[in-house]
Amino acid sequence: MPVEVCFLLADDGTVLWTDRSTSPMTLPDSRARWQAIWRYRKRLAEIAHSHPNGLLAFSAEDETTMTAIDAALGRPLRYAAVTAEAMVRRHPDGATGLEREEPSWAAALRDASDLTGGKTWRF
């Protein structure tokens, strides 16, 4: 069953930390995720998560979470929401749009979310 997955990413695309939901509709807030964001704050460049339900946009909850993270870190990050077919990204300058050339980690996020039926990425 597809589920939401979150990746914390360094600027070079290295996956610093992962989190996996048990639901295709939500990734509940977790203390462990906030601790990882703080622990990796100096290397953290992007937070990406999957949308197994196919929403190719940031939800209202995504928006408030992104605002809170940027405020806590004192700087804006990049954010991405990945569906089975596409990816939307928000850049630190606020520009948001479809990502035409996806980073290599996008395929791993889809696999971890079981959006492709793949079994290659496990954590």
Domains within the chain, CATH numbers bracketed:
5-113 (3.40.140)
Asked if residue 30 lies in contact with residue 19, where contact means CB atoms within 8 angstroms, the answer is: yes
What would the two tokens of residue 30 be?
Answer: 């977790």
The pLDDT score that the predictor gives to residue 117 is 61
pLDDT tens series, the chain, 123 aa: 899 999 999 999 999 999 998 887 888 889 999 999 999 999 999 999 999 988 899 999 999 999 999 999 999 999 999 999 999 999 999 999 999 999 999 999 999 999 976 444 444
CA–CA distance, 34 with 32 (Å, rounded to integer): 6
SS3 content of the chain, % helix, strand, coil (to 5): 25, 25, 50
